[in-house]
Structures are given as C-alpha cells and as structure tokens.
Amino acid sequence: MRLVLLGAPGSGKGTQATRLRDHYRVPHISTGDLLRAAVKVGTPLGLQAKAVMEAGALVSDDIVLAMLEERLSQGDTGGGYVLDGYPRNLAQANSLDALLARLGQSVERAIQLDVDTELLIARIAGRAKAEGRADDNPESVRKRLQVYEEQTAPVIEFYRHQQKLTAVDGVGSMEAVFERVVEALDSRYA
Ligand code: B4P
C-alpha cells in the first residue's frame, strides 16, 4: 500500500500514520519527523530548516525532496509506506509522481483528514502544553494554518482529479478516526 495522508496541522496525520504503520505493517515516513531529526542532530540541512519550521513556513522543496528520495531508497519500502506531511504543495505533488515513476511506482491512495479550524487550534494547544514543540506557539500555528489553506489544500484537488482521494471525518476519538480510515482503505483494497 502506497498511501498519502493529507490534512491540516493538528488534523491527526502523524497520530493516524503510526497506527496505520502497525496495522498494515508498512513504514511510516513523516517529512516533519525527518526534518526534526535533522534539526536535533544539527546537520547543515537541519540548521537551515530550523528557523523555517519554527516560523511555521515550508522548508524548501529541494531539501525535502532530497530527504524523501533518500528515505524511499532504503530497503524497507518495497511493500509500500504511509507518507505523512508530503506532498504539501502542488510542486511537491508533481515531484512525488515523477520520483515514484522513476521507481516504477505510483501513489495508490490519498486520505484527507477533515477537521474544522477551531478543533485544530485546540489540539495543537494541547500538544504545546504536553510536548513544547517549537512550532506549536500561537503565531506559528496561525502561519501553518494559512500555509495549509494556500499551498496544501490544492493538493487535495490534485488527488481528487486522479480519483485517488477519500475524505475521512477526522473528528472523534483517535480510535474512531482510525476505524474510519481503515474502513475507507479496506473497502478499496477488498
Ligand atoms: P508536521 O510534522 O507534518 O506537523 P503537522 O502538520 O503539525 O502535523 P502533525 O502530524 O505533527 O500533527 P497531528 O495532526 O498528528 O510538520 C511540521 C513542520 O515541518 C511544517 O510546518 C514545515 O515547516 C515542515 N515540513 C514538514 N513536511 C514538509 C514538507 N513536505 N515540505 C516543507 N516543509 C515541511 O496531531 C496534532 C495533535 O493533535 C497531537 O497532539 C495529537 O495527539 C492530537 N490529536 C490527533 N488526533 C486526535 C483526535 N482524534 N482527538 C484528539 N486529539 C488528537
């Protein structure tokens, strides 16, 4: 299964991706996690990405694509993967199609987690308290939501046009949302 998870910040992409990884036994590839790891280690790429992420903006397409390409070349991706946080704009969606075509692959399915803005803000505020992530402050969150509307929302249309998109209600308990996602995927793969 080669799956793309789409949704605004706080919609539950990372949360659902780890569950999907365990359920379908495929790796979870999060560009946010890859970037945070590079920041933590202090690689040149991480140093470049740090300020951009803290401001809630998108890291440059070239950097993220190179990182993703490197991750997809690892040996555990033959049976598929859950992509979380990529693509985030139309250029990335086109780059992903081109990259996968070179590997003889394609995205099979895109799931969009649908959550209204007030709840997104409340969830991220909860995480800010619990984890203190650098980009979970109110100013960065406003910026991330704006970037989502302007740059990532068109990606939903990209996959709708390819007839790969299923929108799933992302409101409810983590377990309830997970069951909806699995139902949407299994009805397609049955
Ligand atoms: P990400 O790491 O992708 O962060 P995110 O969009 O905020 O979503 P995340 O997956 O962490 O949160 P989730 O919705 O699961 O990106 C961070 C930054 O990295 C970006 O701003 C950008 O700078 C950079 N970046 C990443 N990818 C990039 C790319 N492709 N190109 C350029 N830049 C890139 O969950 C949020 C909270 O909600 C959690 O606390 C969770 O516990 C809670 N929650 C989830 N589901 C819930 C539920 N059902 N009920 C209650 N709470 C729930």
Instruction: Please name the residues in contact with 163: beta carbons below 8 A apart, sequence gap of 6 or more.
Output: none
Q: 6-64: per-residue pLDDT in tens? A: 999 999 999 999 999 999 999 999 999 999 999 999 999 899 999 999 999 999 999 99
**Does ligand 1 lie within 6 Å of residue 123's CB atom?**
yes
Give, using CA atoms, the residue closest to atom 46 of ligand 1.
Answer: 12
Of 39, 59, 147, the one to substitute when testing ligand 1's pocket (max ligand atoms within 8 A of C-beta) is 59
Q: Taking the model in full, what pTM does it have?
A: 0.93
Tens digits of residue pLDDT in 99-113: 999 999 999 999 999
% of the chain residues with pLDDT over 70? 98
Q: Given ligand 1 and candidates 4, 6, 13, 19, which is best to mutate, with the most ligand atoms within 8 Å of its CB?
A: 13
What is the predicted pLDDT for the residue at 157? 97
Contact 171, 116 (CB under 8 A): yes
Ligand 1 touching residue 46 (CB < 6 A)? no
Instruction: Name which of 174, 136, 149 is nearest 14 in CA terms.
Output: 174
Q: Token digits for 77?
A: 């991706």
Name the residue ranges covered by the structural domains of the chain.
2-189
With bands split at pLDDT 50, 70 and 90, how would you rate the model's confidence at 187?
confident
Superfamily name and number for 2-189: P-loop containing nucleotide triphosphate hydrolases (3.40.50.300)
Beta pairing partners, 81:
2
**Mean per-residue pLDDT of the chain:** 95
For residue range 21-36, what is the model confidence (pLDDT) as tens digits? 999 999 999 999 999 9
Residue nearest to atom 43 of ligand 1 (CA): 123
With a 6 Å cutoff on the Cβ, whether 152 touches ligand 1 is no
